[in-house]
Structure 1
């Protein structure tokens, strides 16, 4: 059984609701999930897992929320080689840059030699009506992680 770290930032509860649904999908595939708010995430936790899901809402003009900035800055000092990531987030298409936080996190993972194992999940505001898509995102990541690590 694989272990996945799921780190998220949520202000209104939308991104946390997405994280809960992704967690359900992961667990359906028999994956152990450690879900944690980014404020409580020590950067060393990223070193302890080989499969990591990151989630953040987009703030302002396509930016990461303030509570994600410390971890993001710490990620710039880590070697994420041999680690597989999936990134998700919530945003608002009323802004010019939709879900820019997802793009920023994926770029950081790749810059630090991590593997973005699947296309990021971008949800308009809340997951209402997209619950199955969120669960499938978790299921697909679990399948990808299991395939990559099988002998």
Structure 2
């Protein structure tokens, strides 16, 4: 697999629209964008991206949407990638944005996790600024 450092993508799954809104409002220049809700799990392809940002909201008591169970095999076969995780959640629950922790556990052994970015509700201006600074950090660009 030929991976290049300028090969970046954002894959996201949004249930209430908050995670999708962050992607739409952020400065995603330089990233290919994929809304996983519009891609059948069998057709999902992480391609040859060296850098992946994976976003999701959290369901119930801190788990990812069922879609992530359907793409489990594709996630665990990712290797030697730079990965950023982001998503929305509700801090009133015991496990705030727990979906990110579960996805991190699947990926951390064979990949480099650059960040986990949690936010609550519709993204505020501060959330957008903070996310933009993360996705355009020098370490992400290298």
State whether TM-score is above 0.5: yes
The aligned counterpart of 1:102 is 100
Match of 1:5 among 4, 9, 17: 9
C-alpha displacement of 1:84: 0.5
CA contact (8 A) 2:56 2:87 kept: yes
C-alpha displacement of 1:61: 0.5
Residue 146, structure 1, aligned to residue 141, structure 2 = yes
The aligned counterpart of 2:120 is 124
Q: TM-score, normalised by structure 1?
A: 0.79
Residue 136, structure 1, aligned to residue 140, structure 2 = no
In 2, Cα distance between equivalents of 1:74 and 1:104: 15
Superposed CA RMSD in Å reads 1.9
Aligned length: 134
Q: TM-score, normalised by structure 2?
A: 0.83
C-alpha displacement of 1:79: 4.2
In 1, Cα distance between equivalents of 2:17 and 2:111: 28
CA contact (8 A) 1:9 1:68 kept: no
1:145–1:136 CA distance, 2 compared to 1 (3 A): closer
With 86-95 and 125-134 compared, the bigger mean Cα shift is at: 125-134
- Runs of 4+ with deviation above 6 angstroms: none
Instruction: Report which of the two has the higher share of helix.
Output: 1
Structure 1 unaligned blocks of 5 or more: none
With 122-131 and 99-108 compared, the bigger mean Cα shift is at: 122-131
CA contact (8 A) 2:78 2:107 kept: no
CA contact (8 A) 1:38 1:71 kept: no
The aligned counterpart of 1:37 is 35
In 2, Cα distance between equivalents of 1:122 and 1:38: 19
The aligned counterpart of 1:87 is 85
Structure 2 unaligned blocks of 5 or more: none
1:86-136 deviation per Cα after TM superposition (whole angstroms, max 9, x unaligned): 00010001111000011111111113x01112x210001221242211222
